[in-house]
Each structure stands twice: as C-alpha cells, then as structure tokens.
Amino acid sequence: MHAFLSSGFDPMTPDEKAFFKQLGARIASLRKSAAITQVQLAETLNVSQQTVASWEVGRRGVPVSTLPSLARALSINVESLIGEKTTPGKRGPAPQIQQKIEQLTRLPKAKQKLVMDMLDGVLAQASR
C-alpha cells in the first residue's frame, strides 16, 4: 500500500480536481462575505483551520458528509454550495433576513442581546 501511495498516483481525476478547486473558491468567497474566519468555520465544523484552507484552494476534497454542515455554516443550501443551479420557485438560497438571523446566531451572546434590543425598539416604534 505504501508503494502505491508514494508512486505519485493521484486518485482524483482532472474533472474532480477542477470541481474541488471551484468549490473551494466558492467556500472562500461565501465565508469572507459572511465575515467568518477560517478558524471560526473550522471550529463550527469541528475540523482544523488547515483543513478549511486545503478545501479553499482545492488541495483536498470536502467530504460529502460535511456538505450539509458546511452549507448551514455559510447560510446557503447544499445545491448552491456545490454550484448546482436551483429552479426559481423551488427550494433555493435562504432569504436575506434568514441569512442575517443565522449570522446573528454566530455572534457572542452580548452582541446578540444588543441586536435584539435594537430590533425590539424598532418594532415597538413601527407598531405605534
């Protein structure tokens, strides 16, 4: 087995390499737009920061079993994460308000309370 691994054999096909490179770029872009660091994403997924970095450059493939958690962490559905087009009117990316709520849940409790207090104030004024 060791000779097989060190023989330079790469189990990924060129198409798979291209797919994981595109997926990695998508992960990095979504992570940055959500203002999440590699370390924060790694902690959420219970992997190392180096693993996230490897995914983002396409050096390692993201395990299929990780895709749902990764999509949730990035406030997107799995289909959009992997680059599949979704049909309008069907299940698609989360509405903007839902994405903001999911981002809010990742904030420290003190900041969550501050945002909730501001929302309560705005909603109270709107109902008058």
What is the reported pTM?
Answer: 0.60
Q: Would you tell me how many other CB atoms lie within 10 Å of the CB of residue 61?
A: 17
- What's residue 8's pLDDT? 53
Q: Would you tell me how many other CB atoms lie within 10 Å of the CB of residue 70?
A: 24
- What's residue 56's pLDDT? 95
> Residues 71, 89: contact at Cβ < 8 Å?
no
- What's residue 36's pLDDT? 92
Determine the Cα–Cα distance for residues 29 and 66; give it in Å rounded to an integer. 18
- What's residue 114's pLDDT? 86
Determine the Cα–Cα distance for residues 101 and 94; give it in Å rounded to an integer. 10
Q: Which domains does the chain carry?
A: 9-94 (1.10.260.40), 95-128 (no CATH)
- What's residue 10's pLDDT? 61
- What's residue 7's pLDDT? 46
Angle, CA of 7, 12 and 15, to the nearest 5°: 140
- What's residue 70's pLDDT? 94
Per-block mean pLDDT, blocks of 10 residues, the chain (128 long): 46 86 93 92 95 94 92 89 68 65 76 83 83
Determine the Cα–Cα distance for residues 84 and 67; give it in Å rounded to an integer. 13
- What's residue 23's pLDDT? 93
Determine the Cα–Cα distance for residues 76 and 30; give it in Å rounded to an integer. 9
